[in-house]
Chains A and B, each alone.
Chain A
Amino acid sequence: MLDGILIGLSTAFSLSNLLMVIGGCLIGTFIGMLPGLGPMSIISIMIPVAISIGDPSAALILLAGVYYGAIFGGSTSSILINAPGVASTVATSFDGYPLARQGKAGKALTVAAISSFCGGSIGAILLMIFAPALASVALLFHSAEYFALMVVGLSAIAAFAGTGQVVKALLMTVLGLIMATVGEGALFNMPRFTMGIMDLQSGFGFITLAMAMFALPEALYLVLDPSRSRTEGGNSEIKDLRISKAEAKSIAPVIGRQSIQGFLVGVLPGAGATIASFLGYAVERNIAPKEEQAQFGKGAIKGLAAPESANNAACTGSFVPLLTLGIPGSGTTAILLGALIALNVSPGPRLMVDEPQIFWAVIISMYVGNLILLILNLPLIPYIAKVLAVPRNYLIPFIFFFTLMGAYIGQNNATELLILVGLGVCATVLRFADYPLAPLLIGFILGSMLEDNFSRSMQLYDGLGFLMERPMTIGLLGFAMILVILPGYRARRARLRQAGVADGD
């Protein structure tokens, strides 16, 4: 492990990779601050750039930097103008915006930055402990277990989608899997489901799909509803970034608790930063003393520190299943996985053994990224906040232009742009009807791996026998079934109870 850390240090601290982290964090902060643009859109826009760098460590470091920066930028716009660009920073605005209204925007930003920094750093330490352990267990897995594990991951993502949403999320996942079977797979050397369209021969482009699922609908929403990009009413005078010793003392235990809890939530597939931040906020409010409880929602710094440390720790936590199992637990890590595959790196337990420099460089650069956010971005915030004044008449055309460019660079083909627009319109309609889009992309990215592992176990056992002969596989698949069925069952019971029907117990 020590060798690995040393390799990681030397990779992460090379000049070009340091520039990647700094650049990624700055770009992420800039764009993440724009209301209405979340990390998934930003990362999907940045992917073509990252892929053309060519070096997988550098690309992943850049994207991870963008990810952190975007979360940080999202917190900033939540605090300053009460317009969270990201679901995971909604909880930040509960107490952050009241603080800004009271003229304490500077203090709120400092608390947010310090909490994020601690959350991210503690998360990175936990990642260093957890990931190797998990990876060594995962090395024992065969393709049958992998197949089952991916099914569990996909089911968990659907199961966490919320009440009444589980079937929708499941349908989206299956649709993503179906889209992944289009084109010529590596497995059979024959094109499938191309409907005779030449451009589908190689399947749907992953970048195109990521843009169409996230960036394009978000931009269309901005066009449809001008109030989403409103920037007025902001109290953008930021002064006095310092916090007092007593305040630091009061938030320290909050940060400690929420970093660990957030990390653990982030490790779970499907949960991620949004749930972690809301959970962190709720837990801290419940365990706070009575007189402090009343302050929550009116500008309590504890209420700001909790979601901020939790969501950053969860972001780090979500790298655990990605790096050790190769299974993304969230939309963002799914996009990162897609980028890695495009760079010919297959994340999974072998990653740590075969390419330790990638694994450790990413972890080390998480520290560096967090540090940069604290020492570089925080003092720059008053200037970066000017970005909030970019008029939407300029902003929106450029977002569209960058999605088009991204799809073009990814596939080098003008027809791809038409596919992008078509899929983007479909995605927007799906979003109108409250269908979650992240499961579709995750399904799409995992699709070929899922089929690959399924086929290998089928071949090995000459049929579905592997289900019976490998108890771990059947156990995991059973667990996946429970994950999917349980929320539906409970919702049904709740509905029956509401209707006054007795249900036995």
Chain B
Amino acid sequence: MALDRWIALVILMISLLYGYTAFFTMDAGLPPFMKFNAIWPSTFPKGLSVLAMLCALLILLSPSQGRTEPKPGDIDYRRLTDYKLGQALILLALMVAYALLLRPAGFLLSTVGFLVISSLVLGERKLHVLIPVAVIAAVVVWYLVQQVLGIYLRPLPLFLTNGG
């Protein structure tokens, strides 16, 4: 089965779950006075779930259009391992790590770490250029976000700022 059908199947599952919630469990918590309304919070989702199921089934059951050749310049997922899959996965993991470390490690440390490590993963070796660039970028962005936009970003690790 081609990837687009697998995706249709997954979306079908999601819309079944969604539809089940809309049709059967959601209205239980509805206050009595709202039951006289023509529209309930579940009305619109009910319709959407039916539409989504219809579309997903159409994709799942429609006759295969043959093996469509990938467009030039597009990525052929059947040969995913021919691409730099490892690098992509490491970068994704780094992004997750960044999200988890942003608060405890502080903005400056996690940002410099993220920029430096991901460049290294991509094959950069000139540390004497890379580290200054990352540090300058982190400080500039921190200044812009914190001072210009006024959004709080803890710059330093937790243990240096007395809990914050």
Interface residues of A (CB under 8 A from B): 48-49, 52, 164, 167-168, 170-171, 174-175, 177-178, 181, 185, 187-188, 190, 192-193, 220-221, 223-226, 228, 391-394, 396-398, 400-401, 404-405, 408-409, 412, 414-415, 417-418, 420-421, 425, 429-430, 432-435, 451, 454-455, 458-459, 461-463, 495
Contact = CB atoms under 8 A, between A and B. Distances in A.
Contacts of A412: 151-152
Interface in B65-98: 65, 68, 73, 75, 77, 80, 83-85, 87-88, 91-92, 94-96, 98
B99 A421 contact: yes
Contact of A225 (B49, B68, B83, B150): B83
16 contacts: A52-B149, A167-B59, A171-B8, A178-B14, A178-B15, A192-B41, A220-B92, A224-B87, A225-B83, A393-B124, A400-B114, A409-B149, A418-B99, A420-B99, A433-B6, A435-B7
| Candidate in B94, B99, B152 with the most chain A CB atoms within 10 angstroms | B99
B108 interface: no
The A contact surface, by secondary structure, is helix
The B contact surface, by secondary structure, is helix
A211 to B, nearest CB: 11
Given A168-B4, A398-B137, A174 B55 contact: yes
B39 interface: yes
A397 B55 contact: no
Interface of B: 2-4, 6-8, 11, 14-15, 18, 21, 26, 29, 34, 37-39, 41, 43-45, 48-49, 51-52, 55-56, 58-59, 62-63, 65, 68, 73, 75, 77, 80, 83-85, 87-88, 91-92, 94-96, 98-100, 102-103, 111, 114-115, 118-119, 122-124, 130, 133, 137, 141, 145, 149-153
Given A174-B48, A193-B18, A409-B145, A417 B87 contact: no
A400 B118 contact: yes
A254 B26 CA distance: 58
Given A401-B114, A409-B145, A394 B95 contact: no
A192 B45 contact: yes
Listed from nearest, the 5 A-B pairs whose CB atoms lie closest are A417-B99, A393-B124, A171-B55, A432-B77, A397-B118
Nearest to B29: A190
A391 B37 CA distance: 60
Given A175-B11, A225-B83, 16 more contacts: A49-B149, A52-B151, A181-B45, A192-B26, A224-B87, A225-B84, A393-B119, A394-B130, A394-B133, A396-B122, A397-B118, A400-B94, A417-B99, A425-B92, A432-B77, A433-B4
Given A178-B52, A181-B44, A404 B99 contact: yes
